[in-house]
Amino acid sequence: MKIKLLFAGTSPTYFCLPLIRELLNTGNFEIGILEFWNPGSKDPGIDGVDYYYFPGLDSYNAMNIIKAFFSKRFYSALVQQFNYRDQVHSNTLLKKVTRPLRIYNSQEIARKIFRKYNTISWHDLVPNYANFYKVIPESTRVISSTYSNDLFATTGKFGYSLLFDILQRSDIITCQRKFLKDIMLIKFGKLLEPKIKIITYGIPDEVFGLIDNTRQSEKIRMFMERYNIPSGKIKVMVGYSADRLHNTLDIIRELSKLDPIVMKRIFLLFPMSYGPDKELRNEVVEVMKSVDIEYKILEGWLTNEEIACLRLITDVVPFIPFDDGFSATLTETLYAGSIVISGSWLNYYELNIAGITYFQVNEPGEITSRMEIIIRDFEKNKSRMNENAEKIRMLTSFNSMKQGWIEILSGINRT
């Protein structure tokens, strides 16, 4: 009997397409994708895959609204509104009163989809998703995957209680790094340990291939001309989206302390094609008025080829987010040959074991001195990064991860 598997949550289409194709090739799966609240998503158009786009809390079904007043779930959602301040929706009194009705309506829509599947692979464990875990049938097995930001961004006792409910309901919990597993056990208890598996989705070979094929092409020159990026300067990428978790403003402040000679040698790149904080761009512009360094903010949506070009022209990456689950940006920039300056608190022991070369700082205040050391002998330091590509590919390639995922998703239904 085939496993009826639903990929659900935030951007499963983006994360899971290579895996979905591999699962279909086994002939053992019927697959669906339930995309939550991601306006940029679209049906990938894969034969044999049912696609559901969940538009959010914007529509009502009259019958569901009437049923809500007779449901414990409605009153549970009402309590939630007055106890947990989520980061996405306004918390005006009107919202707090009406949103539980819309949550109930959304639960009813989701429940009809959940009934079609016997396994759900859920991505991004934000507390609000607890509302949907409540309507997953008891017989359905659940694999929950965390990408670090969901764990670290959760605040307050009520937010933790919602996330704990999600983890308790999960049959298997996956995370990308041992560091994240340790944090999870500290926050939510060691009883979760038997459920936790360390595995990542990896980087598809197509991504590595695109970077390789772009290295010596005219596309790089065209990309730099299109975005007015000078060829004679050392390109420093600061953050990779409009998100304060990257500590973008702190990095700028440290770079503003560089020796004036070093300032003249570098050019800053701020990719902000996506991200939750639209005001961050304006703040960057304001702060940069008093910093004598040329820069460019990349705001439009970049194609895959343009992302490959960005990786290849980036010379240095001060990478000091509050946390990181081994992001694709970090992996791809290391593969492309960038010099990465990482925060020691990120505990990239995986990179150390693999023998990958990168620099570390113990606090943001050390970026200035580290940058000056790197740029003082830039050519030598940059050439050292050439050895990273093959090591990164072996460590993070999707091909090295896919069998583990197939075993997890195939074995979860075995008794």
Average pLDDT of every residue of the chain: 85
Q: How many CB atoms lie within 10 A of CB 34?
A: 22
pLDDT at 178 over 90: no
More confident residue, 160 or 114: 114
pLDDT at 78 over 80: no
pLDDT, tens digit, 9 for 90 and up, residues 252-287: 999 999 999 999 999 999 999 877 677 899 999 999
The β-bridge partners of 52 are 34
Distance between CA 146 and CA 151 in Å, rounded?
Answer: 7
CB 35 within 8 A of CB 61: no
pLDDT, tens digit, 9 for 90 and up, residues 100-142: 677 777 788 888 999 999 999 998 888 878 889 999 999 999 9
More confident residue, 140 or 62: 140
Provide the edge-to-edge strand list for the sheet that holds 294-298: 294-298, 266-271, 234-237, 316-319, 339-343, 359-361
CB 305 within 8 A of CB 332: no
| Residue 413 DSSP one-character state | T
Q: How many CB atoms lie within 10 A of CB 39?
A: 9
> What is residue 377's predicted lDDT score, i.e. its pLDDT?
94
More confident residue, 182 or 40: 182
Q: Band of the pLDDT at 66, cuts 50, 70, 90?
A: low
More confident residue, 236 or 242: 236
246 and 174, same structural domain? Answer: no
> What is residue 96's predicted lDDT score, i.e. its pLDDT?
57
For residue 8, the SS3 value is strand
pLDDT, tens digit, 9 for 90 and up, residues 16-42: 888 999 999 999 999 999 987 655 556
108 and 39, same structural domain? Answer: yes
> What is residue 392's predicted lDDT score, i.e. its pLDDT?
94
137 and 227, same structural domain? Answer: no
Distance between CA 340 and CA 316 in Å, rounded?
Answer: 6
pLDDT at 152 over 70: no
- The mean pLDDT of 370-397, rounded to a whole number, is 94
Distance between CA 130 and CA 85 in Å, rounded?
Answer: 14
160 and 59, same structural domain? Answer: yes
Give the CATH number for residue 257. 3.40.50.2000
User: What string of DSSP letters covers 327-357?
Assistant: -HHHHHHHHHTPEEEEEGGG--HHHHHTT--
226 and 117, same structural domain? Answer: no
> What is residue 61's predicted lDDT score, i.e. its pLDDT?
59
The β-bridge partners of 270 are 297
Which helix (H) or strand (E) is 394 found in, with range? helix 388-396
Distance between CA 202 and CA 399 in Å, rounded?
Answer: 8
| CA angle in degrees (0–180, nearest 5) for 171-412-151 | 35
User: How many structural domains does the chain have?
Assistant: 2
Overall residue count recorded for the chain in this entry: 415
> What is residue 71's predicted lDDT score, i.e. its pLDDT?
64
267 and 134, same structural domain? Answer: no
Distance between CA 138 and CA 261 in Å, rounded?
Answer: 64
Residue with tokens 């620099």: 359
214 and 180, same structural domain? Answer: no
| Residue 61 DSSP one-character state | -
402 and 391, same structural domain? Answer: no
Distance between CA 358 and CA 379 in Å, rounded?
Answer: 15
137 and 21, same structural domain? Answer: yes
138 and 7, same structural domain? Answer: yes
63 and 23, same structural domain? Answer: yes
**Sign of the Cα pseudo-torsion (163, 168, 169, 172, in order):** positive
> What is residue 58's predicted lDDT score, i.e. its pLDDT?
47
pLDDT at 321 over 90: no
Distance between CA 34 and CA 110 in Å, rounded?
Answer: 9
> What is residue 88's predicted lDDT score, i.e. its pLDDT?
44
pLDDT, tens digit, 9 for 90 and up, residues 392-414: 999 989 888 899 999 999 875 44
Of 259, 252, 346, 250, nearest to 290 by C-alpha is 252
Q: Band of the pLDDT at 82, cuts 50, 70, 90?
A: low
Which residues are within 8 A (CB) of 374 and not within 5 positions of it... i.e. 6 or more apart? 316, 339, 341, 359, 381
pLDDT, tens digit, 9 for 90 and up, residues 323-372: 776 788 899 999 999 999 999 988 888 899 999 999 999 999 999 999 99
Could you tell me the residue range of the domain that residue 332 belongs to? 205-396
Token digits of residue 303:
């194609």
pTM over 0.85: no
More confident residue, 244 or 193: 193
pLDDT, tens digit, 9 for 90 and up, residues 192-233: 999 999 998 888 888 999 999 999 889 999 999 999 999 999
Distance between CA 95 and CA 400 in Å, rounded?
Answer: 46
186 and 72, same structural domain? Answer: yes
